[in-house]
């Protein structure tokens, strides 16, 4: 343990988790919250700009500027200061706007519970798919994700899941497989994934390091398409999964028609 911490500090990495202070704000997105908790992204959760986000997503998760830019632009568009150039993490839980969506992996739907905080009951239904497995994989993650959709579709009378939600709910799964594992193979140790969702903590002590290969629209688009193959969920007619549909949803365009839509959703827990 001591030698691990020593190596981490020699590498300039902090395994300590400062966490949120009383006035700090957080989002429904465990990835962004973890980066803020480690003070890699602004710990306050406030005053994020595109350059700030680009820098901290790159150093924390090796996320490329193409993805950081659209997340940043989407964040600014959803925030409490739409005419400003900044956003706060707690501006990201407007239902069906940015970040927060129905059938999230670890948050309740807005109409059935608290859509902001980690919900263990829901998260356990995802973890159940990984019983006796030490790593998350694309085929199993795909089935766990699809189960969240069918479960909420049955019990949430206002379930909202169109082509945009379809693409982004795959994006949410692709993000945890990529940040905690590998942006190409999607193989991620379960204990890393649990640390991210359950503690919003980057699992440095367990051996995690940011992926060596960059996470960008290209890798995420490819993984979304593979996830869809993994669960066989019927794709909306006309929707082609991949980099361009991912770009479209982050730009508030309908991923099928390319027309502007009002509601957009980004990664949620
Ligand atoms: C989402 O949850 C927050 C509480 O965390 C609540 O204030 C907000 O109204 C909810 N959004 C919707 C649309 O229910
Ligand atoms: C967790 O989610 C379940 C299922 O949506 C819901 O019934 C429960 O109220 C949620 N718990 C909290 C604390 O929001
Ligand atoms: C998990 O492993 C335990 C112990 O080997 C076994 O009893 C159980 O049936 C396994 N569960 C599943 C779902 O494979």
CATH number at residue 43: 1.10.489.10
Atom of ligand 3 at shortest range from CA of 132? 1
Average pLDDT of every residue of the chain = 81
Count of domains in the chain? 1
At 176, phi and psi to the nearest 5?
A: -70, -35
Does residue 4 fall inside a structural domain? no
CA 110 / ligand 1 centre spacing (Å): 6
Does residue 259 fall inside a structural domain? no
pLDDT for the residue numbered 106: 87
- Reply yes or no on whether the pLDDT at 70 is more than 70: yes
Does residue 263 fall inside a structural domain? no
Does residue 183 fall inside a structural domain? yes
247 lines ligand 1 (CB under 6 A): no
CA 28 / ligand 2 centre spacing (Å): 15
Does residue 111 fall inside a structural domain? yes
122 lines ligand 2 (CB under 6 A): yes
Rounded distance between C-alpha atoms, residue 156 and residue 122, angstroms: 14
Give the structural domain span for 126: 15-250
Q: Specify the pTM.
A: 0.83
CA 114 / ligand 1 centre spacing (Å): 6
63-80 mean pLDDT: 79
117-133 mean pLDDT: 93
Please choose, from the candidates 66, 84, 67, the residue with its C-alpha nearest in 3D space to the C-alpha of residue 76: 84
SS3 state at 236 = coil
109 lines ligand 1 (CB under 6 A): no
CA 133 / ligand 3 centre spacing (Å): 10
Does residue 54 fall inside a structural domain? yes
How would DSSP label each residue in 174-212?
HHHHHHHT-TTT--EEHHHHHIIIII----GGGT----S
Does residue 256 fall inside a structural domain? no
Does residue 53 fall inside a structural domain? yes
How many helices (H) and strands (E) the chain has is answered by 10, 2
């Amino acid at each position: 343990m001591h030698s691990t911490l020593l190596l981490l500090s020699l590498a300039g990495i902090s395994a300590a988790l400062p966490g949120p202070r009383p006035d700090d704000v957080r989002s429904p997105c465990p990835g962004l919250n973890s980066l803020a908790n480690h003070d890699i992204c602004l710990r306050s959760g406030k005053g994020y700009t595109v350059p700030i986000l680009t820098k901290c997503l790159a150093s924390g998760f090796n996320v490329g500027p193409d993805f950081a830019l659209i997340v940043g632009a989407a964040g600014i568009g959803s925030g409490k200061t739409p005419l400003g150039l900044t956003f706060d993490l707690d501006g990201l839980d407007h239902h069906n706007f940015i970040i927060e969506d129905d059938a999230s992996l670890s948050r309740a739907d807005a109409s059935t519970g608290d859509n902001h905080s980690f919900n263990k009951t829901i998260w356990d239904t995802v973890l159940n798919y990984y019983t006796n497995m030490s790593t998350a994989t694309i085929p199993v993650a795909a089935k766990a994700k699809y189960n969240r959709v069918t479960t909420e579709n049955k019990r949430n009378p206002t379930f909202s899941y169109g082509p945009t939600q379809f693409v982004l709910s795959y994006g949410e799964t692709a993000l945890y497989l990529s940040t905690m594992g590998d942006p190409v193979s999607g193989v991620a140790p379960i204990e890393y994934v649990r640390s991210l969702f359950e503690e919003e903590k980057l699992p440095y002590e367990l051996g995690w390091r940011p992926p060596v290969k960059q996470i960008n629209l290209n890798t995420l688009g490819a993984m979304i398409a593979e996830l869809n193959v993994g669960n066989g969920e019927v794709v909306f007619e006309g929707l082609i999964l991949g980099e361009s549909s991912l770009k479209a949803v982050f730009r508030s365009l309908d991923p099928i028609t390319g027309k502007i839509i009002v509601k957009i959703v980004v990664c949620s827990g």
